[in-house]
Amino acid sequence: MIVYVLFILGFVFLILGANWLVNGASSIGTKLKIPQIVIGLTIVALGTSLPEMVINIFASYRGDTELAISNVLGSNIMNILFIVGISAVIYPIRILPGTTWREIPFSMFAALLLGFLAKDIFLWNADANELSRYDGLILLVFFIGFLIYSFKFVHEETVVVEAPSKHTPALKSVILILTGLVLLFLGGKWIVDGALAVSELLGIDQSETGLVIVASATSLPELVTSIVASLRKKADIAIGNAIGSCIFNIMLVLGISSVITPLPFYTAASIDLFMMILSTLLLFIFVFTLKGRKINRAEGVFMVVLYVAFLIYRMMG
């Protein structure tokens, strides 16, 4: 029983730890006179993917590779179909230029790159599909390239990427960072332990636990942020964070995870990978080919229905 309590408590620790770490690091960065653009594009942006990263590091280190892959694929599918979709249902989203020309095209590229690297059987006549350590390094190289391009883009367009502006005493900032790290460690460990226990209890695969339960829980901060932003008619900013999180998840989280331990793709991974690419393509089509830089309520409803149908299909399958 205790493992299930810790499993739930782990998500609370993980989300709190990520927030405290980001706030403390951002405050220290401000005191060191690091430009707000740099803080926003690195520390703050990384915060949305910290929960997935911590879980994946634990899962990869322990060899629970199904959980590591399904966590990222599930988070990305939820980010795009459900979070963007539900936000558009609340209030139609007008996509910001930075998201239109940077995050969305690069998220499409990241999804296709992951599909290319994972299809070893089809492309190289290998014995199995997996993300090798070399694949992980390739993802990390492209991630660095994305960051460099983002800095250049922001500089040229003079777009301000906001970071927390609250002034926090240095000692408190250090305490936030250290406490955040401890909470992230405990939360990640408890979630991985609990996910395996839940899989055994319900008689389902690790991939289904990661895809539905773990991915949904780690995406809750983005969901809440996007809903609140939509109610305030400012969903465009939150959506940029959700799409940016997808890029971080693929290139940084899966990159680090596969460098730690090569990640063999589980049986249903092709379905999940296909759905992630399809959802990204769908977003790409809605933004670039229909009414242009806008996702309306009808499109949002379609995305949410597609997400629910996919989950039902995967759980029943």
Structure-derived torsion over alpha carbons of residues 232, 236, 239, 244, reported in degrees to the nearest 10: -140
Residue 117 confidence (pLDDT): 92
Residue 229 confidence (pLDDT): 80
> Domain range for residue 223?
2-316
pTM of the model: 0.90
Residue 205 confidence (pLDDT): 86
Q: Cβ distance 66 to 266 under 8 Å?
A: yes
Residue 150 confidence (pLDDT): 80
Please give the tally of structural domains in the chain.
1
How far apart CA 151 and CA 42 sit, in angstroms, is 10
How far apart CA 64 and CA 98 sit, in angstroms, is 36
Alpha-carbon torsion (66, 222, 298, 105), positive or negative: negative
| Helices within the chain (DSSP H only) | 2-31, 36-39, 45-47, 50-62, 65-77, 84-90, 97-98, 104-118, 120-124, 133-157, 170-202, 206-208, 215-218, 220-231, 235-247, 254-260, 269-288, 297-316
243-261 confidence digits (pLDDT tens): 888 999 999 999 999 999 9
Residue 158 confidence (pLDDT): 45
How far apart CA 126 and CA 22 sit, in angstroms, is 41
Q: Cβ distance 48 to 221 under 8 Å?
A: yes
Residue in this structure with the two tokens 């995967």, named with its chain if needed: 314
Instruction: Give the pLDDT of the chain (317 residues) as one tens digit per residue.
Output: 788 899 999 999 999 999 899 888 888 888 887 776 667 667 777 888 899 999 999 999 999 999 999 999 999 999 999 999 999 999 888 887 777 778 888 999 999 999 999 887 766 667 788 899 999 999 999 999 998 888 776 655 544 445 555 567 888 999 999 999 999 999 999 999 999 898 888 888 889 999 989 999 888 877 887 888 888 887 776 677 788 889 999 999 999 999 999 999 888 888 999 999 999 999 888 887 766 678 889 999 999 999 999 999 998 86
Burial 99-110 (b: 16+ CB within 10 A, else e): bbebbbebbbbb
Residue 300 confidence (pLDDT): 93
Q: With CA atoms as reference, report the closest residue to 12 among 236, 194, 228.
A: 194
How open is the CA angle 228-229-235, to the nearest 5 degrees?
140
Pairing label, strands 130-131, 263-264: antiparallel
Tokens of 29: 């960065």
CATH number, position 286: 1.20.1420.30
Residue 166 confidence (pLDDT): 57
| Amino acid type, 84 | V
Specify the length of the chain in residues. 317
